[in-house]
């Protein structure tokens, strides 16, 4: 998709893209630079069988009610990243449509500095990715009914609201691409992750990995409900991480890493089978941890603030596991709590290795 925007353009083709059309041809590309263009498009085209682009000189809200499908891409023309955006207006405007339900390609908005709100509440299917990048004044996005896409990148410093009932599937010929470098002031992005989505369904070889590195500094809660992942790394700031949403029953992973800023790790109430090759908690901000996995081969836990660590009943069935614990503040003097409940279940099978760097008594061993 990127090549589409980077290829050189002749002067004639550039003019054709950025000048508004005298009359919209519903079977070709269209460009909107004013509310008049938008009015002409929505009154003449229920389906646009081309791309729909927007120029930088828009000053009023663009209403596209009446337009139901765009078979191409929705994108912003001009003012590429790192450009000075000379000539772009400082007057904020919105793009809205209560009828648009289908995009044959994606949404690609770069450095669209005057866009304030993007309201497409009935958009259901996006056959490519959504890229919202370097949009300094975008505060609200409404994708209430969006169910499918192939990937998403959000780099929106002032984002306050992301409305979406919940993604149901990532489509496409490859595993999903997710990048969230700046979520602004969002409190939740669970709508992208809570459903029990299988990200491996389109993987054609083991080389097509599904890795997520999420730095969620403004969020306070993050729920991961996918049924599989190769590598998931989560960091945050006073962040609670929950594995398994309301309908999630399993998670198969290669590597789970809990990083700094995570203050609580929770296993979802319906999670029945959580397996991973490696579980690592670099628990710089956790005071207690209940290891949430059912089956694992490598467990690494460290944290200067950790005061308690619990191994689940499932740990009794772990085989050939390597367990490493570096927790200087923990006093490990019993496998039971004060009420007599077992909180540390030793593997009954032979362990590959065991390292415990803590205050340990013989009663614990």
Q: 216-270 pLDDT, tens per residue?
A: 888 999 999 999 999 999 999 999 999 999 889 999 999 999 999 999 999 999 9
Q: What is the distance in angstroms between the CA of the first residue and the CA of the last residue of the chain?
A: 58
> Confidence band (pLDDT; 50, 70, 90) for 86?
low
H/E stretch holding 18 reads helix 11-18
pLDDT mean over 151-172: 93
More confident residue, 276 or 20: 276
Same domain, residue pair 38 and 177: yes
Mean pLDDT of the chain: 88
Same domain, residue pair 212 and 310: yes
pLDDT at 35 > cutoff 70: yes
Domain extent, residue 338, equals: 196-365
| Domain-terminating residue out of 154, 172, 192 | 192
* Under 8 Å between Cβ of 94 and 62: yes
Q: Give the pLDDT confidence score for residue 337 in this predicted structure.
A: 87
Same domain, residue pair 185 and 100: yes
| Domain-terminating residue out of 173, 192, 211 | 192
Same domain, residue pair 13 and 75: yes
Same domain, residue pair 264 and 342: yes
Using a 10 angstrom Cβ sphere, with 0-12 exposed, 13-18 middle and 19 or more buried, the burial of residue 205 is exposed
More confident residue, 77 or 91: 91
Same domain, residue pair 80 and 224: no
Distance in angstroms (rounded) separating the CA atoms of residues 167 and 149: 8
pLDDT at 133 > cutoff 70: yes
Same domain, residue pair 117 and 229: no
> Confidence band (pLDDT; 50, 70, 90) for 84?
low
Domain count, the chain: 2
Same domain, residue pair 75 and 184: yes
* Under 8 Å between Cβ of 235 and 260: yes
Same domain, residue pair 353 and 217: yes
* Under 8 Å between Cβ of 93 and 58: yes
For the stretch 309-359, pLDDT in tens is 999 999 999 999 999 999 999 988 889 988 899 999 999 999 999 999 999
Q: Give the pLDDT confidence score for residue 21 in this predicted structure.
A: 43
| Domain-terminating residue out of 192, 211, 229 | 192
Same domain, residue pair 49 and 128: yes
What's the whole-model pTM score?
A: 0.85
pLDDT at 14 > cutoff 50: no
Same domain, residue pair 147 and 246: no
| DSSP secondary structure string for all residues of 84-133 | --TT---S-EEEE-SS--EESS-EEEES-TTEEEEE-TT--EESSEEEEE
Q: Give the pLDDT confidence score for residue 362 in this predicted structure.
A: 82
pLDDT at 205 > cutoff 60: no
* Under 8 Å between Cβ of 135 and 109: yes
Q: Give the pLDDT confidence score for residue 222 in this predicted structure.
A: 96
For the stretch 101-117, pLDDT in tens is 999 999 999 988 889 99
Same domain, residue pair 297 and 149: no
């Amino acid at each position: 998709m990127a090549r589409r925007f980077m290829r050189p353009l002749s002067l004639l083709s550039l003019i054709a893209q950025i000048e508004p059309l005298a009359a919209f041809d519903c079977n070709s590309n269209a460009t909107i630079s004013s509310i008049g263009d938008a009015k002409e498009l929505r009154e003449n085209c229920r389906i646009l069988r081309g791309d729909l682009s927007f120029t930088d000189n828009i000053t009023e809200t663009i209403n596209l009610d009446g337009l139901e499908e765009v078979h191409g891409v929705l994108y912003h023309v001009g003012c590429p990243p790192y450009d000075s955006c000379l000539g772009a207006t400082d007057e904020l405007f919105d793009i809205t449509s209560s009828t648009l339900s289908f995009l044959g390609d994606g949404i690609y908005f770069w450095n669209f500095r005057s866009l304030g709100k993007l309201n497409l509440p009935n958009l259901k299917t996006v056959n490519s990715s959504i890229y919202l990048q370097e949009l300094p004044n975008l505060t609200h996005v409404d994708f209430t009914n969006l169910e499918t896409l192939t990937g998403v990148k959000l780099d929106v410093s002032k984002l306050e609201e992301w409305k979406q009932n919940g993604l149901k599937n990532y489509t496409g010929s490859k595993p999903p691409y997710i990048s969230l470098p700046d979520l602004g002031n969002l409190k939740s992005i669970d709508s992208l992750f809570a459903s029990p989505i299988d990200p491996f369904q389109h993987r054609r070889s083991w080389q097509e990995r599904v890795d997520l590195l999420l730095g969620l500094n403004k969020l306070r809660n993050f729920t991961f409900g996918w049924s599989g992942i190769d590598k998931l790394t989560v960091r945050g700031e006073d962040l609670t991480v929950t594995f398994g949403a309301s309908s999630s029953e399993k998670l198969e992973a290669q590597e789970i890493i809990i990083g700094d800023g995570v203050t609580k790790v929770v296993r979802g109430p319906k999670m029945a089978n959580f397996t991973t090759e490696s579980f690592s908690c670099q628990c710089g901000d956790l005071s207690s941890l209940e290891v949430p996995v059912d089956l694992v081969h490598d467990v690494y836990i460290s944290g200067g603030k950790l005061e308690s660590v619990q191994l689940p009943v499932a740990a009794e069935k772990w085989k050939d596991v390597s367990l490493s614990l570096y927790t200087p503040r923990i006093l490990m003097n019993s496998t039971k709590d004060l009420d007599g409940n077992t909180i540390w279940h030793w593997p009954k099978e032979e362990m590959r290795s065991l390292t415990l760097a803590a205050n340990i008594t013989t009663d614990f061993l």
